[in-house]
A and B are shown apart, each in its own frame.
Chain A
Amino acid sequence: MQRRNTGPVLLPVVVALVALLTGACGIPDETGVTVVGAGPSTGISSVGDGGKTKVTRQEAGNDRAQFVENYLKAAAGDLDTAAERMRGFMTKDVAKGFKPTSADVRVVRLVADPLVTRGNDVVKLTYEQVGTLDKFGLLEPATEAGPITSEVRVSSVDGEPGLFVTEAPPVLLLSDVGLESSYDEQTIYFWNTDYSGLVPDVRYMPKAVPVEQRPTMIINWLANGPAPWLSVSDLLDGFGLIGKVPAISDNKLQITLTAQSLPATDAAVAQERLRQQLQWSLRPLLPAAAELDLKIGFDVRSYTGEDYLGSNPAYRLVDDPEWFVVFDGKIRRHTGSASAAPVPVLKPEENKDVRLAAMSTSRRYTFAAVVTRTGKTDALRVAAAPTGSQAPLQTVSGLPSPLGKPTWAVTKDDSEAGAVGLITANGNLYSFSTKKGTARQIPWTGPGNKITAVAVAPDGRRVALVVDNKLYRAALNTGGDTPALGTPQQIRPASLSDVTAVAFSSESRLTVAGPRIDDNRVTVVDVSIDGALKESDRLRSELKGKSVESLSVYPANPTASNGSDSVCYSADGKAWNVLYTVSQIGVDKLAGQFPNPLPDKVPTFSFYLE
């Protein structure tokens, strides 16, 4: 019988069964590395701004004054590491013992150059306090200014180049020079309490922060809430950023917010507001054509275009305003006015005896307030009319003479009563409506008692006041029955000993007039809203006349690159225009028909239709 060899048949069977049993066909326990494909390409590193603003200990060499000035710039930048940077100026032992009492940076302005005495290690500093800068970029004006004298001991160490701080006050000090050189002003916005417009809130962004991180920082500022002095709507408590805001790519800025960033009800309206707020706050970082992608929860919306711009009332400010002068008791257009139409609102027969005036427009209405003088008595008359038409003037009673320059705070766009007027009368602040009625006094809670000037920001929610020749800022709350001021904060513009007049030259800048500290000559200067910075290169020519009685400035649009070009003031019964030089506004600047013969008079007041 033939023997069969079963080996070849059995072998695969056994192999298959063993494979099944031992699980060779399951998911393996270990595998080698399987390459799927190439990874994403690496981006290109952008050079940060950090390098150029940072000062180092050795930069000053052995110049003690310069060394101290540099030392006062060292805190600029990220607040968490500010103390570390200041320690870099100190010897190791001193650095170890340097424990700042506050985490915030104290911004100071040197009143005089650091005083270096030969043969003495101590450098004397005399400064006044400008405010404290917190980690949200908020500069809170100081309540007490000084001047304060402080001492910093500076000496050299054997074997080491340069100088070292060997003794210093335990404070994070930053000079205003350092603030200006190491920070960018960055305006963020909050909705006003009526949600009718955005209110700016000026912050300081360290230049060392890479541009990619700035959106994240700004949104965290927004989440932290507005500056305490503002009366605005805060964002929801749940508002917050998820992750960071990635750098702009493909012309898109993507922001991912928590789902709690929007209220449960009316979320669409709230989102619309939020995106406008964000767009305005991020505007300097957002190229015009860029798209903002807002992702809240699972909802992603993209926003492009410039339709958000209208949510900021200051955006309505034009480059070329309508400009008026008061000549012979009549309001007339200036030849530089944008329009040649008749004077708005006022009927020609009522255009007389005018001393001071203010006009504002909302979207549909124009409001006028004129201060007339008959004899020694001042009277305030107001009118409101749809833009392009006229209305009779109505008298506001209850105001003691003398009256200051009136001003309008537009609160509503589509209402004849959508504005609140403010005026100083005999050292007090009064408010009035757009119609006939009694002016109401607004109580003043700050120091001082004689209010001589008031200016309203383009957003209508902030005011600047001059009280006892000192400058204050406060929030204007128009929500209640009567307008009220928030807690006023004094701001101290550099180099001015007194302030006599104030106006907003943009949403974040003030133009103030007053005598200079050093030579007591009157000047008009732009300062930041907190008074820390001043516009040194745009210093107006010094006045040769008397003190400035009133200041009219047409604020610059926030999208404009430069400041306001429309600055006028009244002094010594004459009106002056400040452009590149100061020039008196003569009769040749009057537009329209002239009475014949021309009275031997000059324009006394000039103002803009705001």
Chain B
Amino acid sequence: MRAPAWLPQPVRRVLRVARRSWRVVALRLENYTAPVRRSWRRSLQVRVVTLTLVASSLLVGTFGWFIAYQSADILLNRAKDEVSASLQRKVRYASQQLTVHPQAYDPELPATIRETVDELYDGDQAGDTGTVVSIRAEQYPEIEPQSVPPVDTDQLISPALIQAVAGNGQVAHQIRTVEIDGRMMKYLVYGSPVSSKFGHVELYYAVPLTTEDDAADQIRTTVLITGLALVILLGVVAGLVTRLVVTPVRAAARTAQRLSAGLLDQRMKVDGEDDLALLAAAFNQMAANLQRQIVRLEEMSRLQRRFTSDVSHELRTPLTTVRMAADLIFSERDEFDPAVARSAELLQAELDRFEGLLTDLLEISRFDAGFAALDSEHTDLVPIVQRVAERLAGLAERVGVELELDLPDSPVIAEVDPRRVERVLRNLVGNAVEHGEAKPVVITMATDDAAVAITVRDHGIGLKSGEERLVFNRFWRADPSRARQTGGTGLGLSISAEDARLHGGWLEAWGAPGEGAQFRLTLPIRAGDRLVAAPLPLIPRDRTAEVT
């Protein structure tokens, strides 16, 4: 927070320094209190106990303060009442005694004042209560102040009190702590003018508050100790109660963690019939249901995969027979009518497709069954890319697509399964050529210490938003109407993604409508390494340049 601009510069400077220091202190504090805050965040018990302690200290503190304050007030008021009543009696007596002096210059007056003070002190039935009675005549300097016992009352009777009593003629009181006879004592000092026929003198009556003070101290100590004990007790109780709740909750959390880790047979212990037992029972019920569902789904999935695998295998044998027959017919097609010859050609082509489809299905079911194994070896990837490009050059030429290669000059050695990498690249490049719309397809490869990346860029119709992920789904097609025109089985990208995953690599897609698409295959140099970054961007550089 900045200091307002209207403040003068020095003030703002000071404020700035203060703010900085505060930040430093706050930072330190934050560091020091980190463990505390962590436990505050993590432990419900700590929070409940802390809040209980805080709330109860607040309440107990407030009540304790109130009680102590009230009792001290009551004690003091009682003392005031007593002293006030006594003072009134004394003033009455002194006033009566002074009625015999019509004039202040009466030589007997000091004697009367002395006797009066003596009598007032004696009349106090005081043994060693420490009271002090004093009569002063501020308006008559020739009359000496008289005090019994004869102590120095200059400290006891403050000038302010004298001013109020002698100057303003009021009854007033004050609490003073002064040293009398070498002892520090707290006094309640009352002063009142004493009327006489010649004016007024002032009577001061000081009563030690030792008893009241001790009592107030005792009450305070008692309240403090009781309050502290109460707060601690409340904290302990809160801790115990919270523990009662938190322990089963923690057990539930642990059980849930184990459950989510796959230990489906974990169950909570059900104790009694309370809410927590209900929770445990419900949790167990849920766990049981989940387990059942999961087992059932797994079973179904297994059956489905097996079915696919079985069907693929079973189809292969008749297909081989059909293939042999078809091959024979195809080789003899020249001897047939042109129409039959055409059918033989169609049969041959569809059988090729059918065979490819079966191969892919078998490959997919191998992945699903977890039988796919990586046959890694140190391989130079550059020749692989070149080979794929050569193989597809014919097709590219047919559709009018130019293949451009941007490969490193030096070999790029990585620990990969070359057959699978080649299949992936063939898939990607084939796709690009197919959807290239007679525009160039660029194959780029780059490497660093940890990874190698190969991107395949086309400038075809591109991908719509959200299709980057869908392209890897089985049998997914961007435009279902075009399905028959292009010869893909719909499983190529799925298999490619599985191959990349098998390597511990990534296969990602980017595309924008009208701007074409780019696929990037990223593979670790060493098998089993974890990929952190790719040497090539997913979004093509030329596209970025166009945008900016």
Q: Which residues of B have CB within 8 Å of A33?
A: 158, 160-161, 163-164, 172-174
Q: Which residues of A have CB within 8 Å of B102?
A: 45-48, 210, 212
**Does B172 contact A36, Cβ atoms closer than 8 Å?**
yes
Q: Which residues of A have CB within 8 Å of B99?
A: 43, 212, 246-247, 249
Which of B111-119, B129-137, B310-318, B395-403 participates in binding chain A? B111-119
Question: Quick check: is B445 within 8 A (CB to CB) of the other chain?
Answer: no
Question: Within the complex, which residue of B41, B76, B115 is in contact with A244, where a contact is CB–CB below 8 Å?
Answer: B115
* Complex Cα spacing A29 to B179, Å: 12
Question: Quick check: is A1 within 8 A (CB to CB) of the other chain?
Answer: yes
Which of A20-28, A171-179, A397-405, A546-554 participates in binding chain B? A20-28
- Contact status of A9 and B58, CB under 8 A, knowing A27-B75, A39-B193, A39-B195: yes
Question: Within the complex, which residue of A3, A4, A25, A30 is in contact with B69, where a contact is CB–CB below 8 Å?
Answer: A25
**Does B62 contact A42, Cβ atoms closer than 8 Å?**
no
**Does A246 contact B96, Cβ atoms closer than 8 Å?**
yes
Interface size class of A (residues with CB under 8 A): 35 or more
**Does B160 contact A42, Cβ atoms closer than 8 Å?**
no
Nearest chain A CB to B289's CB is how many angstroms away?
A: 32
Which of B2-10, B217-225, B521-529 participates in binding chain A? B217-225
A20, A30, A43 pick with most chain B CB within 10 angstroms: A20
Question: Within the complex, which residue of A1, A12, A19, A41 is in contact with B41, where a contact is CB–CB below 8 Å?
Answer: A1
* Complex Cα spacing A4 to B58, Å: 18
Question: Quick check: is A44 within 8 A (CB to CB) of the other chain?
Answer: yes
Nearest chain A CB to B115's CB is how many angstroms away?
A: 6
* Complex Cα spacing A78 to B107, Å: 10
**Does B217 contact A26, Cβ atoms closer than 8 Å?**
yes
Question: Quick check: is A289 within 8 A (CB to CB) of the other chain?
Answer: no
Q: Which residues of A have CB within 8 Å of B195?
A: 39-43
| Chain A 372-402 near chain B by CB (<8 Å), digits 1 or 0 | 0000000000000000000000000000000
- Contact status of A35 and B95, CB under 8 A, knowing A26-B72, A42-B199, A243-B119: no
Question: Within the complex, which residue of A43, A213, A242 is in contact with B196, where a contact is CB–CB below 8 Å?
Answer: A43
Q: Which residues of A have CB within 8 Å of B91?
A: 40
**Does A20 contact B176, Cβ atoms closer than 8 Å?**
no
* Complex Cα spacing A35 to B216, Å: 24
A27, A37, A45 pick with most chain B CB within 10 angstroms: A27
Question: Within the complex, which residue of B101, B168, B177 is in contact with A29, where a contact is CB–CB below 8 Å?
Answer: B177
Q: Which residues of B have CB within 8 Å of A50?
A: 103
Nearest chain B CB to A159's CB is how many angstroms away?
A: 28
- Contact status of A17 and B54, CB under 8 A, knowing A40-B195, A213-B101: no
Question: Within the complex, which residue of A29, A48, A210, A246 is in contact with B175, where a contact is CB–CB below 8 Å?
Answer: A29
Nearest chain A CB to B378's CB is how many angstroms away?
A: 49
**Does B97 contact A246, Cβ atoms closer than 8 Å?**
yes
**Does A31 contact B115, Cβ atoms closer than 8 Å?**
no
Question: Quick check: is B490 within 8 A (CB to CB) of the other chain?
Answer: no
**Does B171 contact A38, Cβ atoms closer than 8 Å?**
yes
**Does B175 contact A31, Cβ atoms closer than 8 Å?**
yes
**Does B103 contact A20, Cβ atoms closer than 8 Å?**
no
* Complex Cα spacing A81 to B72, Å: 55
Nearest chain B CB to A461's CB is how many angstroms away?
A: 33
Q: Which residues of A have CB within 8 Å of B116?
A: 243
Q: Which residues of B have CB within 8 Å of A244?
A: 96-97, 100, 112, 115
Q: Give the residues from 51 to 76 in chain B that come closer than 8 angstroms, CB to CB, to chain A.
A: 54, 57-58, 61-62, 64-65, 68-69, 72, 75-76
Nearest chain B CB to A34's CB is how many angstroms away?
A: 6
Question: Quick check: is A13 within 8 A (CB to CB) of the other chain?
Answer: yes
A-B contacts, CB under 8 A, total: 172
Question: Quick check: is A32 within 8 A (CB to CB) of the other chain?
Answer: yes
Question: Quick check: is B212 within 8 A (CB to CB) of the other chain?
Answer: yes
Q: Which residues of B have CB within 8 Å of A20?
A: 61, 64-65, 68, 220, 223-224, 227
Question: Quick check: is B194 within 8 A (CB to CB) of the other chain?
Answer: yes
- Contact status of A39 and B165, CB under 8 A, knowing A29-B177, A213-B108: yes
Question: Quick check: is A489 within 8 A (CB to CB) of the other chain?
Answer: no
**Does B172 contact A35, Cβ atoms closer than 8 Å?**
yes
The interface on chain B, measured as residues whose beta carbon lies within 8 A of the other chain's beta carbons, has a size of 68
Q: Which residues of B have CB within 8 Å of A242?
A: 119
| Chain B 184-216 near chain A by CB (<8 Å), digits 1 or 0 | 001000001111111110000000010011001
Q: Which residues of B have CB within 8 Å of A269?
A: none
Q: Which residues of B have CB within 8 Å of A34?
A: 172-174
Question: Quick check: is B169 within 8 A (CB to CB) of the other chain?
Answer: yes
**Does A210 contact B101, Cβ atoms closer than 8 Å?**
yes
**Does A210 contact B172, Cβ atoms closer than 8 Å?**
no
Question: Quick check: is B170 within 8 A (CB to CB) of the other chain?
Answer: yes
Q: Which residues of A have CB within 8 Å of B168?
A: 35
| Chain A 37-75 near chain B by CB (<8 Å), digits 1 or 0 | 111111111111010000000000000000000000000
* Complex Cα spacing A6 to B54, Å: 10
**Does B197 contact A26, Cβ atoms closer than 8 Å?**
no
Question: Within the complex, which residue of B61, B68, B103, B186 is in contact with A17, where a contact is CB–CB below 8 Å?
Answer: B61
Residue of A nearest to B76 (CB): A27
| Chain B 355-374 near chain A by CB (<8 Å), digits 1 or 0 | 00000000000000000000
Question: Quick check: is A245 within 8 A (CB to CB) of the other chain?
Answer: yes
| Chain A 129-154 near chain B by CB (<8 Å), digits 1 or 0 | 00000000000000000000000000
- Contact status of A44 and B197, CB under 8 A, knowing A28-B175, A30-B176, A33-B164: yes
Question: Within the complex, which residue of B169, B174, B209 is in contact with A38, where a contact is CB–CB below 8 Å?
Answer: B169
Residue of A nearest to B61 (CB): A16
* Complex Cα spacing A32 to B101, Å: 34
Question: Quick check: is A277 within 8 A (CB to CB) of the other chain?
Answer: no
* Complex Cα spacing A216 to B106, Å: 15
Question: Quick check: is A598 within 8 A (CB to CB) of the other chain?
Answer: no
Q: Which residues of B have CB within 8 Å of A31?
A: 174-175
* Complex Cα spacing A33 to B217, Å: 24
Q: Which residues of B have CB within 8 Å of A341?
A: none
Question: Quick check: is A264 within 8 A (CB to CB) of the other chain?
Answer: no
Question: Quick check: is A112 within 8 A (CB to CB) of the other chain?
Answer: no
**Does A32 contact B41, Cβ atoms closer than 8 Å?**
no
Question: Quick check: is B22 within 8 A (CB to CB) of the other chain?
Answer: no
A37, A48, A243 pick with most chain B CB within 10 angstroms: A243
Q: Which residues of A have CB within 8 Å of B209?
A: 27
* Complex Cα spacing A46 to B58, Å: 66
A39, A40, A212 pick with most chain B CB within 10 angstroms: A39
**Does A25 contact B170, Cβ atoms closer than 8 Å?**
no
* Complex Cα spacing A487 to B91, Å: 49
Q: Which residues of A have CB within 8 Å of B220?
A: 20, 23, 25-26
**Does A39 contact B97, Cβ atoms closer than 8 Å?**
no
Question: Quick check: is A254 within 8 A (CB to CB) of the other chain?
Answer: yes
- Contact status of A42 and B58, CB under 8 A, knowing A20-B223, A25-B68, A210-B101: no
**Does A13 contact B100, Cβ atoms closer than 8 Å?**
no
Q: Which residues of B have CB within 8 Å of A40?
A: 91, 95, 192-195, 200
* Complex Cα spacing A21 to B173, Å: 27
- Contact status of A39 and B169, CB under 8 A, knowing A26-B72, A34-B174: yes
* Complex Cα spacing A433 to B115, Å: 53
Pairs of residues from A and B, 8 with the lowest C-beta to C-beta distance, nearest first: A16-B61, A246-B96, A247-B99, A39-B193, A25-B69, A212-B100, A43-B197, A36-B171
Would you give 20 A-B contacts (Cβ < 8 Å), ordered by A? A13-B57, A27-B212, A29-B186, A30-B177, A31-B174, A33-B163, A38-B169, A39-B171, A40-B95, A40-B192, A42-B199, A43-B196, A44-B197, A45-B103, A45-B197, A48-B106, A243-B115, A245-B100, A246-B97, A247-B100
* Known interface pairs A16-B62, A26-B213, A247-B99; 8 further A-B residue pairs with C-beta atoms within 8 A, sorted by A's residue number: A13-B57, A27-B186, A29-B186, A33-B174, A46-B197, A210-B100, A243-B96, A244-B100
Binding site for B on A (CB under 8 A): 1, 3-4, 6, 9-10, 12-13, 16-17, 19-21, 23, 25-48, 50, 78, 81, 210, 212-213, 216, 242-247, 249, 254
Binding site for A on B (CB under 8 A): 37, 40-41, 54, 57-58, 61-62, 64-65, 68-69, 72, 75-76, 84, 91, 93, 95-97, 99-103, 106-108, 112, 115-116, 119, 158, 160-161, 163-165, 168-177, 186, 192-200, 209, 212-213, 216-217, 220, 223-224, 227
